[in-house]
Chains A and B, each alone.
Chain A
C-alpha cells in the first residue's frame, strides 16, 4: 500500500502551481506562467497515469480490485461519535476519474496558451485553472463524504472565478453569479443530506457506508420523515446536490449561461469534470442507493431521461454553437444518470453502472474535443453564431476532421468511442423497461440530428463574409485537438468492464446485436436527415424557406410533398410547438422562479427599512415591546386565549 504514497503529489502539484501563480503570477511573464502551470500539470498527469497503471495491474483480491487508502489521517473528532478524516481513496472509479480529469485539464492548459494568448489576466487564468484542477482531483479522491463536500464547494468557487473571468463583460459576471447561486441552493440539499446520513449512521466514510452493513443503517431505515424513511430522504437530498452540479432538470439553468466563460474553461468544467461530479457522487454511493433506496435510484433514472430529452429538444433550435454543445452536455449527462438509475448490482444487472461510467469516460474526451474545436472556430471567425460560419472546412482542415470525429462519436457511429458506451446504456435501458429503451434510443437519434446540424452549418453550407480569411489555429491549439481525436477513435476498444463494474468483478462487454443495429440505423437516419437539410446551405430563415418552396414547386416531384410534411413536422411541430415552449418554460418559469426569490428578498428589505429610522425614542419603544413579547412568550404556557 505504501507504494501508492506518491498519489499525494497528484494533489500537491496543482496546489503548488496555484499558490505560485496566485501569489507571484503578476510578476511573471505570461508565457512563463502558462508554461509553469502546464509543466506542473503535465507531471500530475504522468502521476495519474502511473497510478492507473499500478492500480490496474495489481493482483485482484477475490476477483475485484482492492480499495486502497494510501492516506487517511484523523482530522477532527466531533462529539466522540463522529470523526472527520482527510485522505486519499483509490478505487476503480476514482482512478478512472484521475485519468479523465488530468488528461482533459492538461489538454486545456496547453490549448489555452494559444487560445488565451495576449488576454489580460493570463496569469490569473492559469492560477484559477490550477485551483480548479486541484479541487476536482480532491473531490474524486475523497475518502469520506465530508471531505468530498469540502472539495465540492471549492470546485464551485473556482468555477465561479473561471466563468466570471471576463469580468468586464456583464453577461459573464451574471453567468458566474447564476452558476454559483443555483449550485449553492442545490448544495444546501447536499449538506442536509450529509447531516442526516451521518447523524443516523455515525460515519462519513465511503468505505463504511458502501459496505451497506444493515446494523449501521437500521436507525436511518426505521426513522421516518414525511412518510419516507430517513435514508430515502437523505439520499434524495444528496442527489439534489449532484443534480445542481450536473445540471439536471430543473437545475440546469446555469449551464447554458456559463458558456460566457472562456471556451477552454467550458471544455474543462462544462464537459469533462465539474458537470459529471453529480454522476460521480451517485456512482460513489451507488451501493447505498441500490440497497436501501431503489425508489430514489429509479427517480434518478426518470429525472435523467426527462432532462436528456428536454435538453436535446432545445439543442435543435439553438444558433450559438457553444450553447448547442451546452445543451448536448446536459442531454448526455442525462444518459449517464439514466444508466446509473436503471442499474442493479452484480454482473449482468450492473450493466448500467458500468455503462454510465464508460460513457462518462468517453463523453469527457469527445465533448472536450468538441468544445476545444468550437474554441478554434470562434478563434477563427470571432463569433459564436452559426450564421457567421459556414464553409469553414477549407479554412480549418484540422479542426474540421477532429470535429467530425467527435460528432460521429457522440452520435454513436462505430467504431468511435461513443458508440460503445451509448450502446451499453441503451442495452441497460431496454432491460429496465422497453419504454425507457425506446425513449433513450429516440433521444440518441435526436442527438445525432442536432450534432450534424451543427457540423454542417459550421463547415458546409454557404460561406459567410469575413473581414479576414479565417485561418487554422496555431499548433498549441491543434495538438490537443488531434490528441483527443485519437483518444476518441480508440477509447471504445478499451475493455472497460474489466476495470470498472458495479461489483468490481470482471464484466465482459458484449454487444447486443439488436440494440446495436437499431441504434446505428437510427443515428444514420438522423445524420442523413441533417445532411439533407443543412449540407447545401439552403438557409433556414423563414423568408428563404418561402423561395425554396417556390423552387421546389416547379420541380414537380413527389419528393416535394414529403419534404413539406417533413418540414412541417420539424419546423411547425417539433420546433415551434415543442422546443419553443420548452425553451420558453425554461426561460420564464424556471428562471423566473429563481429571479423571483432574489427580487422578493430585495423587496422585503426595502419595505422594512422604515423601522430603522435613527430615532432613539422609537428604538426604546421597539425595545420595550420586544421585552413584553419575550416575557409573554416565556409565559405562554400560562396565557390562555
Chain B
C-alpha cells in the first residue's frame, strides 16, 4: 500500500488529530485545566483552519476514491470559518450549569459532523460520499438533542434523525439503482455509463432527494423549522450555515461532474424546488413570531437562492454559489450571534421581545440590522452582491422566469426582514430587553461577522480568487 496517499488527506488527518487531542484533554485533564478547554479548543481549531490555507496540489488518492482540488479546499475553509465562529458563540451556552460537564462532547460531536462533511466534499465514490453523509448526520442529531432534559430539544433531535434516516434510505435506494444500471460507483466512471434511460433518471431522482433534504429545499424542508427551533441556538447556527453550505456545494459538484448527462432533468428539478423554496418559505416567514423559526424559514428561502447559482451548470454559477455561501455564512451567523447572546442573557426569543431593543443595546441592534439587510440583499452590504451574482449566473443561461420569481421574492423577503428591524428601532416597549455587555468570545464573533458583511462586497479579490478556481460542466 502506498502510504503517501494519506498525505493527500492532510485536512482530514489534522481534524482527526485535533478531535483525539480534545477528547483526551477532556478525559484526563484536572478540574482547573478544564477551565481552559474553550480557549484551547478555539485556538487549536483556528490553527487547523489556518493550515488549510497553505497551498497544495490537485489530484486523487486511493484509486479515485478520494479527490481533492482547490475549490474543495476553499469550501472546506469556508466550513472551518463557520465552525470557528460557532465555537466562539458557544462559550456562553457551554458555561451554563446544565451543559458545562459535557462541553467536550459538544466539540467532539461538532468536529465529527465536520469530518463527515469533509468526506462528502472529497468523495470520489458514492460509498465514500454516503459514509460522509451519515457521519455528518448522526452526530448532528445528538447535537440537536444536546439539551436533552428540555423536551423541545429532544423532540427536535428525534425529528431530525427520523427525517434524516428517511432521506438516507431513499438516497441509498437511488445509489443502488445507479450501481445496478451503470455498474460502478466511482464518480470518474459513472458519467460514461449515463445514457439517460428511465431507470437512471429514476435512480437520480431518488438519490438527489438526500441532498435536497440536507439543504432543506421545499418540499423536503419540514424538519427544518422544528429542528431549528428546538435545537440549542448555537447548534441551530451551525445547522443553518455549515451543514447547509456543505450540502449545497456537494450537490453542485455531483450535478456538474457525475450527472452532467442528465442536465435537462436536474435543471427541471432545481427549477421546481428553487421556485417552491423561495416562495413557500417566504410566505411562512412572514407570520413567524419566534425568531429562530423565522430564521429557519429565511434560511430555506436562502437555500433556494444558493441553488440558483448551480442551475446554469457554468463556472460562473459555481463561482457565484461559493461566493454566496461565504456571504451567507457571515450574514446568518451575525444574526445568530445576536440571537444567542440575547437568549442567553434574557431567555427571550420572540420578535416582539425585541421591541425597543435599539434603546437598550444600540450596537447589537445595528449588527442585527446589517445582518438582516445583508440577508435581504440591500446594497452596499455583501448580501446584495452575492444575490446579484447568482441572478446574473442564472440570467446568463436564460432562466428569466426563475430569476423573475426570485426577484419578486426578494421584495417580499424585504418586508419580513424589515419587520424585525422595525421591532428593534421603532416599536415602543415599556420593558425592553435590559442593556448588557457581551463577553469577549461573542464580541470577537460579532466583529468577524460584521467585518465580513461590510468588506466582502467590496473586496473584489476574493471573488476573483473563487472565479479563478471554479470550473463548469
Contacts and interface: CB of A to CB of B under 8 A. Distances in A.
B120 interface: no
B414 interface: yes
Contacts of A604: 283
Contact of A167 (B220, B262, B404, B425): B425
A493 interface: no
A546 interface: no
Nearest to B170: A627
B205 interface: yes
B269 A634 contact: yes
Interface in A197-215: 199
Contact of B219 (A74, A168, A622, A634): A622
B426 A619 contact: no
A157 B378 contact: yes
Interface residues of A, number: 55
Chain B binding surface SS class: helix
A183 to B, nearest CB: 11
Given A154-B380, A601-B412, A620-B162, A634 B287 contact: no
B226 interface: yes
A438 interface: no
A75 B458 contact: yes
A641 interface: no
Interface in A157-193: 157, 164, 167-168, 173, 177, 180-181, 184-185, 188, 191-192
B391 interface: yes
A421 to B, nearest CB: 34
Contacts of A635: 198, 201-202, 205, 265
B222 A167 contact: no
Chain A binding surface SS class: helix
B351 interface: no
Most buried by B among A76, A150, A606, A631: A631
Contacts of B283: 601, 604-605, 608
Contact of B379 (A153, A177, A184, A630): A153
A153 B428 contact: no
A195 interface: yes
B107 interface: no
A73 to B, nearest CB: 10
Interface string A50-86: 0000000000000000000000001111110000100
Contact of A184 (B166, B316, B385, B414): B414
A164 B426 contact: yes
Contacts of B426: 164, 167, 173
Interface string B194-218: 0000100110111011001100000
Contacts of A598: 415
B61 to A, nearest CB: 33
Interface in B42-67: none
B223 A619 contact: yes
Interface string B301-315: 000000000000000
B405 interface: no
B205 A619 contact: no
Contacts, number: 145
B266 A77 contact: no
A626 interface: yes
A620 B407 contact: no
Given A608-B284, A622-B219, A626-B219, A192 B407 contact: yes
Contact of B411 (A177, A188, A605, A608): A188
Interface in A626-641: 626-627, 629-631, 633-638
A614 interface: yes
A150 B380 contact: yes
A605 B287 contact: yes
Contact of A631 (B202, B223, B385, B458): B202
Contact of A623 (B167, B404, B422, B463): B167
Nearest to A621: B222
B460 A75 contact: yes
Contacts of B76: none
Contacts of A630: 205, 208-209, 212, 269, 272-273
A84 B379 CA distance: 14
A630 B394 CA distance: 21
B395 A609 contact: no
Contacts of A557: none
B330 interface: no
Nearest to A199: B395
B40 to A, nearest CB: 35
A612 B222 contact: yes
Given A605-B283, A631-B206, A612 B198 contact: no
Contacts of B385: 76
Contacts of B273: 630
A625 B467 CA distance: 38
A318 B79 CA distance: 59
A602 B286 contact: yes
Interface string B384-425: 110001011001100000001001100110110010001001
Contacts of A622: 219, 222
B205 A627 contact: yes
Given A77-B460, A623-B166, 4 more contacts: A79-B316, A195-B395, A608-B284, A614-B226
Interface of A: 26, 74-79, 84, 149-150, 153-154, 157, 164, 167-168, 173, 177, 180-181, 184-185, 188, 191-192, 195, 199, 598, 601-602, 604-606, 608-609, 611-612, 614, 616, 619-620, 622-623, 625-627, 629-631, 633-638
11 contacts: A77-B464, A84-B460, A153-B384, A154-B379, A177-B418, A191-B407, A199-B396, A605-B286, A626-B220, A634-B266, A635-B265
